[in-house]
Structure 1
Amino acid sequence: MSKPRTAWPAARSRSARALPMSPRPTRPTASQAGRRSFMTRSIAAAGGRGNVKSAGRLENPAGLFAADSPTGHPERRILIVFRPTPEAGWEQSRKAAGVASLAAAAPATGRGPPPGDRPEEAVGGFPMPTARRAAWAAPLIAAFAGAPATVRAEAPRVIDLRADQDEAAVLENPAKGLYHHYYDNGTKSYPSRSEEIEAVPGCRQLYVRLPWSEFEPKPGQLDWSRIDDLVREWVPKGYSFSFRFTCKETGYAYATPEWVRLAGAKGGFFKADPGWGENAWEPVWDDPVFLKHLEAFLKAAGRRYDGQPWLDFVDIGSIGDWGEGHTHFGSRKPVPSEVRRRHIDLYRAAFPRTPLAVIDDFCAYQTADAESRTLFDYARQHGCWLRDDSLGVEWWLNQGAAKTWSVARPAWFAATWPRAPTVIELEHYGMMKRSGVWRGADGAERGADWLRKAMDLCRPTWLGYHGGAAEWLKENPRLTRELANRTGYWLFPEEAELPHAVRPGTDLALRLRLRNRGWAPPYRPWTATLRLVSGTGAAVDLPVTGLDARACAPDASADLTGSAALPETLAAGEWSASLRFSDGGRAIRFACTPARQDRDGWLGIGRLDVK
């Protein structure tokens, strides 16, 4: 075999040049072991400059190669490669050696791989200044020729963020939290004073549930003032909305406008329970006259509100008492699943850009299990959220679903929340107190415990306390703060990872570990931005790709990885790095102190050197 070269070609080339080497002996000699020790120290020294690219144990190292630096820097890179055995093939040999791909290099024989196979892969390397190549080459070649070698990559800089976590502050983040029933089955409940609603921490959504007749008292004469007046007042304050338009109410003789009946729609008056309000008219839910006018009304509502940035979701609520899908306080007649599906489709056509929520009873009331599951699957396949109305009703809590804390269909929630949000409405707060299912401050005697267990099953993104704002907050101050944070996502920064040094014009890889202590993951994609600030105060904002917080499952930690393209003009020096996530322009707040995340949402993740 020829001796190693001591002079390296000056010509720049992207192809690697093989350095011949002696066959590997079965056992390294003492001198070889010493040279390997020198090699290890040399690599460690080079690694201090952030240049070792990957690691792996080489069971059969085959050669050392000189190749141009991928960044075009005037240095060459030593690449350690292995020779695959003919029997195993190129890819299998690489896997057997337990090494990761770094860059393609020509094999030691100077020939490429057999047709159809991958080229030999380099698994380690570091730049070597031209003046020092000869001095470094000989001991490295000798060391690798005689013994297995482990090349260690320089570990990235890991920043522990746990010391700055803060679970006391209530985080008011987009697309999650508590909501207030502003209009609930009528205009009398619960339009609390503005200052009372604003005092509820973590409550930034107003829910409007009103009958169709409030909006269209005469054919074609639409009055949207009930919604529009609230939107004008509350959206500038940062509040969002959700709706339900109902066609049967216990407090209205005509939730469906009377003119629909006069136009020929079939239906009847029912008062199944003397304790529940008016002798109300209930339409036949698939009557063609009723459906014709309902479709026109929903299309008009969609033209006005569909896709509005302040509209979080719309309930599918055009069947049954209060729009819940059951007729328990009316005719108690079964509604076929094909009729229910028709109503779902009416909403899908009217609100194609707005999330729709379906109530569990809408799919299940007086419907066989298999049929109700088919209808639920249909709604879920078309992107519908799942909602449960009035958790904490005394009969359901003590009898109907006592083992699941009044959650009638926990399996449906388990099937929904990994992909779509769920919405929970508590029983009317006053009724819970009267029935005894809620007792004591913060529900300490009864209430808070079953509620937490029910929420563990439902994993809601939105939760309505269903009562007067001042009364609820006065009697449940600590629990309100807990529910505000745990409803939806609640993200705690644990760890960040950055390279020690980077070069302009390259991609900066980063990692952020978050723990989600909320009941649900984030469901919407966020915009991630990296801000670099120099010692002189110059700031550069860069878009980050790959960081997807939707991977943050509840009760778990997730490592989010991404990268940002550094500009060629980025000045050398030390820069501080911060991340900001936003949804529709609103910054995402993390559970950490202001020292770690500032008021504008920038989360400090460390420092790095630009070479």
Structure 2
Amino acid sequence: METETAASTNVIELGRLYQGPFQIEQDNGWYTIFMTTPSSEPIRNPGMGLIAYAWEENGPSLNARNGLETIEEHVEQLAKLPYVDVLYIRCDWRHVQTEAGSLNLHPIWETTLRAAEKHGLRVAFRIQLSSPNPQPQRLAMPDFLIGQVPLVNIGRFPGHDYDYLEPRYDHPAFQAAFQELNELLAARFDGDPRIEFVDLMMYGFWGEGHTNDLKNPFPDYATAEHTFMRMTRQQIERWKHTPLAVNTQPDISQTGNRIVREYAMNEACWVRTDSIVLDEPEQIEAIANRSPWTAAVIEDGYYRHFKLSSLAFDTANIDVIANSMLHALDIGGNYWGLWTEAAAIADYHERYPAGIETLRRRLGYRLRPSWIWQRKRFGTDELVVALANDGVSGVPGTLWLEAADPEGTVKLRGKLDKGSPIPGKVSLASMILPQDWHGKEIRLALQLEVKPGVCKPVQWACAQPTEPDGSLAIRLKDHSDTNWRCGV
């Protein structure tokens, strides 16, 4: 299929590229025309990176909470950190809606979106339907639903002098309000190019899928599972253009979280965990053995304030923060959360740079054309590209390989199998080139399809220089060259 773009480029859509085996049943000549080696520099690409929190379950930075800096100053300081790729908002339902029928976004949203645009960052978010943090003074649920949605006393923690309340998620008033919330959020943010991913709205404390050791508010397990499966389906069916991430928390509260997780992963949702060291084996197993096209978002909140005075070191002299973040690599992480404290993060990085710098160079996927062969075939040329992945995760979606003439008048475009190439491996793919391309310089580029029809450019992670537009310039051999290989 051929299509015309606004820039008068003839785009030839090849669909799935041929990916082997690459035998030599027709050997009119071949040559290895290009090779690359891994880059040691950080690469910023979609589907991976370091995340700074404009707002977490307790609010913005400690200084902003204490009135020592404005929200704008707090977010700007985070966005200026050179190793931050994504700004993240984790707020209560009450922070995005104060009345039925419309979104009423807290000022942190506009501040974060502006900072992301200014610094070339992306934005992700989670809306908490429930949180223990504002209780007992108020709930995460907006005030206009108080009196409409029944509340259930689920008990108290030892040493506390108050009980926690959870809404009856299955109540018609809650379900109607949730359906409206999901629709309003998707209408506003689904497909917004600034939005990297959205966490699924799930059961319980912080939307993690649990209420700790306290009971759940449902009359029975079946009601809980059916309720959250319905809410999960609503979100997956509505968000067509922006990836959703499901929490891998075990079903300790018996509300169907394990069923939700399996369903969401089968529907191409990404995964996340809100801890990495004190994680149950079930979560580590689920993330480490996920499908290669599934991104993993990882954080650990125990040391979120980056207090240097309280750092502990192990027998290898690795500090506890670095020890935590480096474990994200062991399960093929795509993202790591840096939390809210810009100055403290910067101080930590200056004094102990190894952890963050290691993540910048290994986290996620890192792609390059390790070998490129040109073969004379079918009266023209075949380009065979061996794509290497030097990162720790698979490609979170479908990778599209593009080859264009330097003038940009003709572009060939085809896709690899979903998730390829996997980390530490090489995937080969080929395309048949136009007859008049031999001897010319062409440009090789990548795009990542994160959702059907949603493609984003990918930067090569090779030591060899790229063009200003991020492509690699490859000189094809002329058919009149005398050093073509034939046979072995």
Using the aligned pairs only, state the percent identity: 20
Q: Structure 1 residues 529 and 346 mapped into 2: Cα distance closer, same or farther (>3 Å)? A: closer
Q: CA deviation at 1:424?
A: 1.0
Aligned with residue 388 of structure 2, among 515, 518, 524: 515
Cα gap change, 1:227/1:181 in structure 2, threshold over 3 Å: closer, same or farther?
A: same
Which residue does 2:212 correspond to in 1? 328
Cα deviation 1:556-606 (Å, max 9, x = unaligned)? 222232233345xx6xx832343122347864222323x532332121334
Provide the C-alpha distance between the structure 2 equivalents of 1:305 and 1:158, rounded to a whole number of angstroms: 45
Say if 2:103 is the partner of 1:222: yes
Give the alignment of 1:105-504 within 5 angstroms: 153-159=27-33, 161-162=35-36, 164-167=37-40, 169-189=41-61, 192-201=74-83, 203-220=84-101, 222-224=103-105, 225-252=107-134, 253-268=138-153, 271-272=156-157, 281-328=165-212, 331=215, 336-361=224-249, 364-367=251-254, 373-392=258-277, 396=278, 401=280, 408-430=282-304, 439=313, 444-449=318-323, 451-457=325-331, 459-476=332-349, 477-499=353-375
Alpha-carbon shift at residue 166 of structure 1 (Å): 2.5
Tell me which amino acid in the other structure corresponds to 1:204.
D
- Return the offset for 1:351: 2.3
Secondary structure of 2:235's partner? helix
- 2:483 aligned with 1:596: no
TM score, norm. by length of structure 1: 0.62
Paired residues, number? 432
Q: State the AA in 1 paired with 2:443.
A: S
Gaps of 5+ in 1: 1-99, 103-122, 125-152, 402-406
Aligned to 2:13: none
Q: CA shift at 1:244, angstroms?
A: 0.9
Q: Which amino acid aligns with 1:338?
A: H
Mean CA deviation greater in 447-456 or 295-304: 447-456
Q: Is the 8 A contact 1:486 1:518 kept in 2?
A: yes
Flag the 1:187–1:199 CA change in 2: closer, same or farther, 3 A: same
Deviation at 1:333, TM superposition (A): 5.5
Query: Which sits farther off after the overlay, 173-182 or 576-585?
Result: 576-585
Shift of 1:237: 3.4
1:345/1:550 CA distance change after superposition, 3 Å = closer
Aligned to 2:66: none
Residue of structure 1 equivalent to 2:484: none
Secondary structure of the residue aligned to 1:448 is helix
Q: Which has the higher helix share?
A: 1
Residues 1:493 and 1:308: Cα distance change in structure 2 (over 3 Å): same
Matching residue within 565, 573, 581 for 2:434: 565
The 1:273/1:222 distance shift into structure 2, 3 A limit, reads farther
Q: CA deviation at 1:376?
A: 2.8
Q: How many angstroms apart in 2 are the aligned matches of 1:156 and 1:547?
A: 23
Give the structure, 1 or 2, with the largest relative contact order (CA under 8 Å, sep 6 or more).
2
Change in Cα spacing, 1:308 to 1:266, as seen in structure 2 (3 Å) is same
> For residue 35 of structure 2, what is the amino acid of its counterpart?
L
- Distance across 1 between alignment mates of 2:31 and 2:293: 34
Is the contact between residue 170 and residue 484 of structure 1 (CA under 8 Å) also seen in structure 2? yes
The 3-state SS of whatever aligns with 2:85 is strand
Structure 1 366/269 Cα, relative in aligned 2: closer, same or farther at 3 Å?
closer
Distance 1:490 1:212, change over 3 A: same
Gaps of 5+ in 2: 1-21, 63-70, 449-453, 481-488
Aligned counterparts of 2:212 and 2:191: Cα–Cα separation in 1: 34
In terms of Rg, which structure is larger? 1
RMSD over aligned Cα atoms: 3.6
One-letter amino acid of the structure 1 residue matched with residue 461 of structure 2: A
Contact 2:56 2:90 in 1 (8 A): yes
Contact (CA 8 Å) 2:392, 2:423: kept in 1 or not? yes
